[in-house]
Amino acid sequence: MKKQIAVLAVLATPLASAMEMKMPTVYGKINKAYVNVDQEQNVAKTRNDKSNAGIVEVLNSVSRVGVKGSESVDGGITASYKLELGLDSTNDSVALRNAEVSLKHSYGTLLIGQTYNPFSVVGLGADPMASNIAGHQGADMAQYVAQASSLKTNLGTQGIGFTYRGRVDGATYTTPELMGFTYTISQDKDGKNERETNTENHTEHLLSYKRAISGLDLNLYAGMGSWSQTGTKDNKEMLYGLGLTKNAFKFNAALSSSETKNVGNTFSYEIERTFVAASYSMDKHNIALTYQTREDKNFDNTKDSKYKTTQMAVGYKHQCTKNIDLNLTYAKLEIENETTGATSDDKKNNGNDATLIAAGIQLKF
């Protein structure tokens, strides 16, 4: 681990020197939780399974360490960079999370490298539980809940209430704000390259409008994504949402749909998502509620198959100090096999009803 951190510092130092930057800032986070799972079905497809996962990594937002910095350069450009490693103790892995360079000018901002794509940025900003087990990313649910592997689909996407592709190498340009409007366009290959057999090309467009009205902060957005992938025809995704903030109260809602069609198929694989969240902060206390659904149609190249995932969660966070918070999370996840003509055994063996309770701690520096 010490070697990995040293590598980050070595990589960052020449970059800072070349751009006449100040020494980089070292930052990080430790994110752990005690998780208890009660589900109707386990991985062996037997019923009524209770398990204690113990102290584990929060997979939706793993522990990390990184370096970052910024400086003004010639031409009115502000350059910034970030190098970040993810430290996943549950799966005993260390992986690069972010490796990005941002160039900000009065003409807009260009972001290059491995970072969050625009749709993922929207989801992370809207979800008050993105850093605990009930986040829309769905990684913790896929780890502990039987049948939740459907949260990771053959589209190369992940997520329950929002599509979440995480961090991928690409380029993103965002215009300056004009009368409250900003436009963002990005292009990436979902972490793949031309030498791989299953090459992907993703493009995302996001239009946002922000305005303050009598103490109410309004955020409206609409997005369109498209991608091509070996073995499929042109694929697309649409995203619509809004955010409202009034003092300590926040509300977010979003709808999205995606569609892909494999070569040779006469039907499309469709995913429809819904996300609603509300949170309220008072002093060092924060309480949040989320409701999200995901409906998969024609799943796994099977015509007329239909699976619905519903997650409801409530979370409480206490900010002990500036850098430490304690959190409690209660989440209920239901997976239903709604395939027409499916037998009762099919519906039972391909569905689940799970309850997760977690007590966690986050330490940031």
Q: What percent of the chain has pLDDT over 90?
A: 62
- Enter the pTM of the model: 0.87
Residue 258 maps to a domain: yes
What amino acid is encoded at 7 in this protein?
Answer: V
Residue 334 maps to a domain: yes
- Find where tokens 């997650």 sit: 311
pLDDT of residue 9: 46
Encode 344-355: b = buried (16+ Cβ within 10 Å), e = exposed: eeeeebbbbebb
| DSSP conformational letter for 154 | T
pLDDT of residue 153: 45
201: domain CATH number is 2.40.160.10
Q: How far is CA 72 from CA 19, 33, 78, 105, in A?
A: 9, 40, 4, 10
Q: In angstroms, how far apart are the furthest CA atoms of the chain?
A: 68
110 neighbors 172 (Cβ within 8 angstroms): yes
Radius of gyration of the chain (CA): 21
Spans in the chain with pLDDT lower than 70: 1-21, 42-48, 149-157, 192-198, 300-301
Residue 84 maps to a domain: no
Q: In the numeric block, which tokens belong to residue 298? A: 């024609």
Residue 68 maps to a domain: no
Q: How far is CA 287 from CA 318, 325, 330, in A?
A: 9, 13, 12
Residue 15 maps to a domain: no
CB atoms within 10 A of CB 246: 11
Residue 196 maps to a domain: yes
pLDDT of residue 47: 56
Residue 203 maps to a domain: yes
Question: What range defines the domain where residue 173 resides?
Answer: 28-58+104-364
- Find where tokens 């510092």 sit: 9
- Please tell me the total count of domains within the chain: 1
Instruction: Return d(Cα 327, Cα 335) in angstroms, integer.
Output: 26
Residue 356 maps to a domain: yes
221 neighbors 210 (Cβ within 8 angstroms): no
